């Protein structure tokens, strides 16, 4: 999904309060519209669809808050541009290879960067693995800050029975509507005790990790309200690549029953 501007959002920004014109049942147009504290801060809009394995190249001044608000400078041209693809399968697995010869803005120039994702999906298992390769094809060294954005929707961001899990440590709060910036992570995921399912990520290389919710603002008969849509889990890595150098790392994703 993607957060989009709706016509009624301007009423929140204008801080309007509408009252019913008489004692009859109020319609959606004339009822009293009350907004919770800070609702206007959730009026953020996305220029891309928030899906899974989205390839971000970030600028050095990007923060968790600016990224969550989609108010940041994307440095690569990999999100909304096509990749080349080939696939093969055997009796054990399906392998999908995606690659793109793209550009990353570094300093005051566009730099040629090759990104390849090899996705392996084993038969009869609720899992897959991804191997990333990023190659600097530019004649000079370039700084790389790469993150892969993964969105999971567990229906409710406030319940205590749906929460983040981080390998080797506890976080608080851990509900899916919370926001975190974590360092030196190799394993993380989400548990849903209501649906009795666990979604786990494992990384071959330690990474920083951003966790944050995607909220939209909707208008119903009860007025304006915040609606949880999904949670973003984004591991990220930094490096400086000399000409011809590459960075490689693996990510695996598994769904299991609790």
pLDDT, tens digit (0-9, with 9 covering 90-100), for 205-250: 999 999 999 988 766 666 677 778 899 999 999 999 999 999 999 9
- The whole-model pTM stands at 0.86
Fold of 9-257: Beta-galactosidase; Chain A, domain 5 (2.70.98)
Burial class (CB in 10 A: 0-12, 13-18, 19+), 212: buried
What is the average pLDDT across 76-96?
96
Domain spans of the chain, in order of start:
9-257
- Adjacent-strand bridge partners of 13: none
Tokens of residue 40, six digits = 């206007």
Q: Give the C-alpha distances (Å, rounded to integers) separating 133 from 114, 150, 247.
A: 8, 18, 6
What is the average pLDDT across 128-144?
98
Say what the pLDDT of residue 7 is. Answer: 60
Tokens of residue 154, six digits = 């567990």
């Amino acid at each position: 999904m993607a957060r989009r501007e709706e016509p009624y959002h301007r009423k929140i920004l204008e801080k309007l309060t509408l009252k019913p014109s008489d004692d009859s049942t109020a319609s959606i147009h004339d009822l009293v519209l009350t907004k919770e504290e800070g609702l206007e801060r959730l009026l953020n809009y996305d220029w891309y669809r928030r899906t899974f394995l989205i390839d971000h190249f970030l600028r050095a001044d990007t923060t968790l808050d600016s990224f969550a608000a989609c108010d940041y400078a994307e440095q690569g041209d990999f999100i909304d541009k096509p990749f080349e693809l080939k696939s093969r399968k055997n009796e054990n697995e399906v392998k999908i290879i995606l690659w793109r010869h793209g550009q990353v803005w570094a300093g005051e120039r566009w730099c040629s960067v090759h990104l390849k994702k090899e996705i392996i999906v084993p038969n009869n298992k609720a899992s897959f693995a991804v191997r990333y390769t990023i190659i600097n094809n530019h004649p000079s060294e370039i700084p790389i800050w790469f993150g892969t954005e993964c969105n999971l929707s567990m229906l409710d961001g406030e319940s205590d029975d749906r929460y983040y899990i981080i390998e080797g440590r506890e976080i608080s709060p851990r509900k899916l509507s919370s926001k975190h910036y974590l360092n030196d992570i190799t394993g993380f995921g989400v548990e849903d005790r209501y649906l009795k399912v666990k979604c786990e990520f494992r990384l071959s290389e330690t990474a920083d990790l951003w966790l944050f919710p995607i909220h939209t603002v909707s208008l119903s008969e009860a007025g304006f309200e915040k609606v949880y849509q999904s949670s973003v889990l984004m591991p990220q890595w930094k490096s400086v690549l000399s000409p011809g150098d590459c960075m490689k790392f693996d990510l695996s994703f598994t769904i299991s029953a609790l």
